[in-house]
Chain A
Amino acid sequence: MIRHIRERRWCRRPMPFCKRQNRRAAALLLAPSLAGVAVFYLLPFAEVLRRSFTDAMGRRFVGLTNYQTVLNNDAFRLAAANTAKFVGICIPLLLALSLILALLVRATGPQRGKGFRSLFLLPMVIPVASIVLLWKVLFADSGLMNTALGAAGIPPIDFMGSDAAFWILIVTYLWKNSGYDMILWIAGLDRIPAAQYEAAAVDGANAWQMFRAITWPGLRPTLGITALLSLINSFKVFREAYLVAGAYPHPSMYLLQHLFNNWFLNLELGRITAAAILVVLALLACGSIGLAVRRFQRRNQP
């Protein structure tokens, strides 16, 4: 104990542990994870970067040819636009929807809430193949949706062969992931102390004002991670789309991963890696814009 107090005297920062101790401990704790990540994730990423500047087999250096080819390629433009559209529509929609769900579920109280939580989480665990089966049964030309529409007197819609395919993709994504995001929101909501709400209620604020003043600011930290996880999950929607509509679906459903898949079958690894790096750069750009906006907001806050 005496030793500790003496050490604390030498440490400038009001932190529990000293810098040296921290660094040593961090190194030890991080070592296995870093080693694994370096071998299984960093190394492949570096190889991807390298191959974007070489030919497909990775032998000959070709400079920026791959990037030029990719940027001039119609299919890439279409796929990138579709993916951007998908992400741009989906993520805000998902965040909003899951937030509403979270608020509703919390409002029903702890007991019933549990049931609903599991219910909304269930779509996430349904295996991909079952979703494919479901999709086919529902949205095929003679599927159940068209039967239902027919019963209501509406002419059948060609779901898979028209722009409706895009919206089906979005609906599937929302359905699968709303439960997941809802859990994240609920966790974030739980962290906001109830006392603040009680104080506001005493002051006579209504629900909307409470939301704007207390809930929304309190959820900001959760927003970041939820958005990121939703982004990651949005890439996973490819597998269902691929299993149902094949390698060449309706153009409205044609995502970057379809393109990568098809290019890969033709061994166009140079193009794939160049396109992947472009996507990463785009994400970094969005991320830094987001950070810059946040910093700007924080500076403007009282």
Chain B
Amino acid sequence: MRQLKKWCAGILAGLFAVTLAGCAAVPGQQETTGDNTVQSLTGGYLEEDISPDHNDNVGLYAVGDVLHAVTIENAAAPLQQQIAHWYTMGPDGSWQENEANGFADAAAQVPEASAALCNAYLAQDGSLYWRITVIREEPEKTSQSYLFAVQDGKARLLDTPPVGEVSLWMDDTTTALAVCGDTILVTDNTMEPHAYDNQGNPAPMKFPDIQGRLLCGNATGYYWLDAQSNLQYCLVGGTTVETVLDGSRYALTSPGMHVRSAAAIDDDTIYIQMSDGNISSQNQELYRYRWDETLEVVQGGELTVFSLYQSRTVEAAVDEMIKQTGAGVTYTYALGESTENGQAVVTGSREDALTQLNTQLLAGSGPDVIILDDMPVQSMIEKGVLADLTGIINTDGLLSNMAGVWQTDAGLYAVPARCVPLLFGGIDTVMADIPDAETLAQRLAAEPNINEAEYNWQTDPIPLMAFRNTEQLFDTFYPLYAGEIWQNNELNAAACRTFLEMLNRICQGGGRSLNIADAAASVYSGTSYYTPSNGTSGSFMNAGSNAFCDLEYSLSGLGSYFQYYTEISGNPTTATVRAMTTAAGQSCIQPSCVAGINASSQNPEGAAQFLQILLGQTVQEQDTYDGYPTLATAVQAQWQAGLSNSGVQSNTDMAAVLQEMDVVQPSTVLRSAMLQAMQCYLESGSAEEAIQTARDTAVLWLAEQ
């Protein structure tokens, strides 16, 4: 028995040792966790704008050492009016046109079409191909593709594409194609890369973990664009990834522009074409990147920026700062966010991340710039963790209520770069009829029932307003009443009861219906107030209603509501937007993307510069879908841009509207206590029980203050 035990122990020990050895042998993986950093590189790529005189670029190709660009004029016009140009870049860097592009010939062979998408493909043997996809609306929406091979300026219709590059290019599942010497790389519509030889046969190959878009290839490897707009390179068959261009430093991250296509010449010259995604705007640029060893790269100081959640506004500011000053800015966010069934899911623990941050702050170190969302800002100010911004930051152009949130006699300690207002808008008759939140609640309660299965959006009356679930309904009204309900760190039972009963009336009274037929009932949709869509499951909420009242995150998208209202009512609306207020005059605007400078920062000048850029026109003007700008001029710019995109006129002075609103910062703990109370009330019908639930949930938090 003893021998046996010894043997067992020995074998187990051996296994253990082998496992340990195995651990050491496993190569370290490239980690993509929530801890993301954008770092600056000391690269020496010289960026030059070499846009030819062209409009819509439909193909950028490198054949041998020569760059070809195929462009189309009047791309949005009917096929017969489109004109193609085939440019070749000469050795002196100028564009020369090759007249024999065969496009006119090809277009003549295609039956009459009002809309056609044209793509060109230039194979490695120098032959040009055209694919013309014709879209027909009647009797139903169909598309048909024609392939033409160009020879001596004449286009010949092909039934089947020649094997190799062209057949892969014609394949409907191909989203991107790159030719790397003898290997052809293709990404399919799940963004999975596949490799083929030049006859079109699959050639199995190892790929690194590619998170992004395949762009182009040269003889030895391929380039792709990752999620942070950095250009990455990898050798064919290899798994080591090299970052070639840091997006932040170059035009790759120009606001509003996206990379359309790219081509690479063997001597490490890369051409990238950018556009703003709008065919008719003619806003296209072509950049050449060439390695220059003598290029001096401006290096500013080191700056660290930290936030709990990823913020696109901050990322835009980081890009801008790197472009302007060349500083080494590192942006880290602690928690990853994703959406599951419409509910936001956070990976990682806020408490742990905050504990780490606080440890650093209390020990006198930590990041230079802190984005204070979901952090105890008041505590931090009291403890002297944040630096006084008076005299360092210029807050002149900001909305006055936003600039004043954390302005005290002692100084200014934090400034919001975004705001989230509770806005109310709709068709004119509805707007005139509903002056405040209580009236809105009454109207919602009086709405007729909607049975999703029987509802016909084209004939049945359109509901007043729609909510995805009860939590959204709660979030529309709660911030307005939060101050009344929680007074002096105590629950005001009377105010709470009024609030709960109001919500209950809405849920019981009108518009209750089933959820979307096959979607799983979400946790919060005990009584869901469903919005009928116009048939497509991807409809936005509030698209099928007469009015909206919601916490708004995207100003440039606001105009689209009114475009819709104009369509369904047939009359142009005045596109009036106002703050939703209670009868007592309480409105709600929440600060977001709140920035502060660490009092123990080693680089306060850099931090101040960063904050100024964050609050500057370039960054504020970009719609990052995480709130409205706090810079008044940016508010006007976004609002006007959104209106003109939707073809709507408005007299509303958006900056004035926002400036008048009351700043509310609801505590998350109290909010969830109230949310639980509401759910309890909806389930049990007892106000006392609900109030008690709220009290119980919040008691510990209140006691700690």
Determine direct contact between A and B, CB below 8 Å.
yes
Binding site for B on A (CB under 8 A): 55-59, 73-75, 78, 247-248, 251, 254, 258-259, 261-269
Question: B238: CB under 8 A from chain A?
Answer: no
- Say whether A264 contacts B703, CB under 8 Å: no
Nearest 9 Cβ contacts at the A-B interface: A75-B703, A74-B703, A56-B383, A75-B704, A266-B379, A266-B376, A248-B700, A267-B383, A267-B379
- Say whether B358 contacts A248, CB under 8 Å: no
Q: How far is the CA of A268 from the CA of B701 in the complex (A)?
A: 14
Chain A residues with CB under 8 Å of B700's CB are 75, 78, 248, 251, 254, 258
Chain B residues with CB under 8 Å of A78's CB are 700, 703
Highest count of chain B CB atoms <10 Å: which of A55, A78, A259, A268: A268
Q: Do A267 and B376 contact each other (CB < 8 Å), given the known contacts A57-B383, A57-B384, A261-B351?
A: yes
Chain A residues with CB under 8 Å of B358's CB are 264-265, 267
Chain A residues with CB under 8 Å of B699's CB are 251
16 sampled A-B residue pairs with Cβ under 8 A: A56-B362, A56-B383, A58-B362, A73-B703, A74-B703, A75-B703, A78-B703, A248-B697, A248-B700, A251-B696, A254-B700, A258-B700, A264-B358, A266-B376, A266-B704, A267-B380
Chain A residues with CB under 8 Å of B448's CB are none
Q: Which of B384, B385, B696, B704 is A263 in contact with, Cβ under 8 Å? A: B704
Chain B residues with CB under 8 Å of A75's CB are 700, 703-704
- Say whether B351 contacts A267, CB under 8 Å: no
Q: Which of A265, A268, A269 is B354 in contact with, Cβ under 8 Å? A: A265
Question: B270: CB under 8 A from chain A?
Answer: no
Binding site for A on B (CB under 8 A): 351, 354-355, 358, 361-362, 364, 376, 379-380, 383-385, 669, 696-697, 699-701, 703-704
> In the complex, what's the smallest C-beta–C-beta distance from A237 to chain B, in angstroms?
18
- New A-B contacts (10) at CB < 8 Å, excluding given A248-B700, A264-B355, A265-B351: A55-B383, A56-B362, A56-B383, A57-B385, A74-B703, A258-B700, A259-B704, A262-B704, A265-B354, A268-B379
Q: How far is the CA of A265 from the CA of B358 in the complex (A)?
A: 7
Chain A residues with CB under 8 Å of B704's CB are 73, 75, 259, 262-263, 266
Q: How far is the CA of A247 from the CA of B354 in the complex (A)?
A: 13
Chain B residues with CB under 8 Å of A56's CB are 362, 383-384
Q: How far is the CA of A78 from the CA of B351 in the complex (A)?
A: 22
Chain B residues with CB under 8 Å of A74's CB are 703
Q: How far is the CA of A55 from the CA of B703 in the complex (A)?
A: 21
- Say whether B384 contacts A247, CB under 8 Å: no
Chain B residues with CB under 8 Å of A254's CB are 700
Majority DSSP secondary structure for residues of B touching A: helix
Chain B residues with CB under 8 Å of A248's CB are 669, 697, 700-701
> In the complex, what's the smallest C-beta–C-beta distance from A228 to chain B, in angstroms?
28
Q: How far is the CA of A74 from the CA of B699 in the complex (A)?
A: 10
- Say whether A57 contacts B362, CB under 8 Å: yes
Chain B residues with CB under 8 Å of A269's CB are 362, 383
Highest count of chain A CB atoms <10 Å: which of B355, B364, B696, B703: B703
Q: How far is the CA of A55 from the CA of B599 in the complex (A)?
A: 15
- Say whether A265 contacts B697, CB under 8 Å: no
The chain B residue with its CB closest to the CB of A51 is B362
Q: How far is the CA of A258 from the CA of B351 in the complex (A)?
A: 12
The chain B residue with its CB closest to the CB of A75 is B703
Q: How far is the CA of A294 from the CA of B312 in the complex (A)?
A: 66
> In the complex, what's the smallest C-beta–C-beta distance from A61 to chain B, in angstroms?
14
Chain A residues with CB under 8 Å of B669's CB are 248
> In the complex, what's the smallest C-beta–C-beta distance from A63 to chain B, in angstroms?
17
The chain B residue with its CB closest to the CB of A261 is B351
> In the complex, what's the smallest C-beta–C-beta distance from A213 to chain B, in angstroms?
39
Highest count of chain B CB atoms <10 Å: which of A78, A251, A254, A267: A267
- Say whether B351 contacts A247, CB under 8 Å: yes
Chain A residues with CB under 8 Å of B379's CB are 266-268
Q: How far is the CA of A147 from the CA of B315 in the complex (A)?
A: 50
- Say whether B361 contacts A267, CB under 8 Å: yes
The chain B residue with its CB closest to the CB of A242 is B351
Q: How far is the CA of A58 from the CA of B600 in the complex (A)?
A: 13
The chain B residue with its CB closest to the CB of A246 is B351
> In the complex, what's the smallest C-beta–C-beta distance from A113 to chain B, in angstroms?
16
Chain B residues with CB under 8 Å of A251's CB are 696, 699-700
Chain A residues with CB under 8 Å of B351's CB are 247, 261, 265
Q: How far is the CA of A182 from the CA of B335 in the complex (A)?
A: 43
Q: How far is the CA of A282 from the CA of B376 in the complex (A)?
A: 31
Q: How far is the CA of A262 from the CA of B703 in the complex (A)?
A: 11
Q: How far is the CA of A262 from the CA of B704 in the complex (A)?
A: 8
The chain B residue with its CB closest to the CB of A263 is B704
Chain B residues with CB under 8 Å of A265's CB are 351, 354-355, 358, 376
- Say whether A59 contacts B384, CB under 8 Å: yes
The chain B residue with its CB closest to the CB of A269 is B362
> In the complex, what's the smallest C-beta–C-beta distance from B41 to chain A, in angstroms?
36
Highest count of chain B CB atoms <10 Å: which of A59, A264, A266, A268: A266
Q: How far is the CA of A263 from the CA of B364 in the complex (A)?
A: 18
Chain A residues with CB under 8 Å of B383's CB are 55-57, 267, 269
Chain B residues with CB under 8 Å of A268's CB are 379
Q: How far is the CA of A264 from the CA of B351 in the complex (A)?
A: 10
Q: How far is the CA of A251 from the CA of B701 in the complex (A)?
A: 11
Q: How far is the CA of A209 from the CA of B701 in the complex (A)?
A: 53
> In the complex, what's the smallest C-beta–C-beta distance from A241 to chain B, in angstroms?
13
Q: How far is the CA of A269 from the CA of B361 in the complex (A)?
A: 11
